[in-house]
Amino acid sequence: MKNELLSVAEAAERIQSGDVLVVAGGSNLMAQLPTGKWIGGSTAYFVTENGGAVVQDKLFCTTIDDATDATVRVVSPDEVATISKGYNAGGFTVILVPAMTHAHIRFALDSVNDADLFDQPLVGWVTGVHLDKLGSEASVVVDGSTGAKLENAAVLLHVELPAGSSVDFDIVNIFTQGEEMSVVFSETGFTARTAKVNGVEVNLAQYLTDNAIDTRLPLVANYAGSMVNVSVQTVDVADGRVDFYAPIVAGMEYKLAAPQPDYAAAFANSIGEAGVGQYSCNCILNYLYGDLEGKKTGGFTGPVTFGEIAYILLNQTLVKLDVKAA
């Protein structure tokens, strides 16, 4: 795979040549691209070869040069439990979903009801906008096969690969569970009012505020050995609620993550020099809290996103995918 920042003209040339692409950048730029075998998502933030950066005059393009073919598919919020129906045997699927939409919520809560969801790698991210434009500009995805810009649907790229190809698919999470705060919720969703903290029922917003909990640290659950983060979006003491960027699951034990004294160094240590030629995305919270502007994360380059997808919705995580030819 090739990861490149391209002008609109350069990206258009790739599409017209028949290449299979995943595109990230401004919706105004993607609107100028021809139709073809590509999907796109909006963001203004990237990890480039020179480190984290805001880029608004170019598009970040991943060319999947191993692909033998690809099918673009749009899935409505009510159809997210049918993602696997478009899977190509031996391939992988990229999914893009616009942030803070019904499609975003339904994907997070309902996609796991797809019995065949885990039959092939499903990788992707939640699209966003420059933080200065939150509330005034919509996050979008683009169906490159038609040019349609969508504000409340998931767009999928079902990729076909040559026989015998292998796909290496994983996440990088620099966080581990801390020891001081155990949290269990009674309801699944993006919002919580109460929770059991260290076995005691509390109003969570009040507890976090009274105890000066650093909400830049995610809550971390142990999924059969894999650490999965849920990040705090807002703490509203007046309304007595805490909102999250991904759903918390009833009955699951979460622990506040152990602090990271040096965010960027933690990524560097976890990744090493890997990443060149792989598809990846990294969380906007990592970008902000880790002060990643101008800092590299190994050889990984790609969009900075408002949620990451590795089958399920993740937070404060780097997702990576590599294709090895037969």
Burial class (CB in 10 A: 0-12, 13-18, 19+), 231: buried
- Amino acid letter, residue 239: D
pLDDT of residue 272: 67
Q: Residue 13 corresponds to which tokens in the numbers above?
A: 């040339």
Q: Residue 242 corresponds to which tokens in the numbers above?
A: 């805490």
Spatial contact of 119 and 53, defined as CB atoms under 8 Å apart: no
> By three-state DSSP, how is residue 111 classified?
helix
Q: pLDDT tens per residue, the chain (326 residues)?
A: 999 999 999 999 999 999 999 999 999 999 999 999 999 999 999 999 888 999 999 999 999 999 999 999 999 999 999 999 999 989 999 999 999 999 999 999 999 999 999 999 999 999 999 999 888 899 999 999 999 999 999 999 999 999 989 999 999 999 999 998 999 999 999 999 999 999 999 999 999 999 999 999 999 999 888 899 999 999 999 999 999 999 999 999 999 999 988 877 787 777 766 778 899 999 999 899 888 888 877 788 999 999 999 999 999 999 999 998 87
Burial class (CB in 10 A: 0-12, 13-18, 19+), 315: buried
314 CA to centre of own chain: 6
Give the pTM: 0.94
16 C-beta neighbours (distance < 10 Å), count:
12
- Rounded to whole angstroms, how far apart are CA atoms 287 and 296? 11
- Rounded to whole angstroms, how far apart are CA atoms 66 and 165? 9
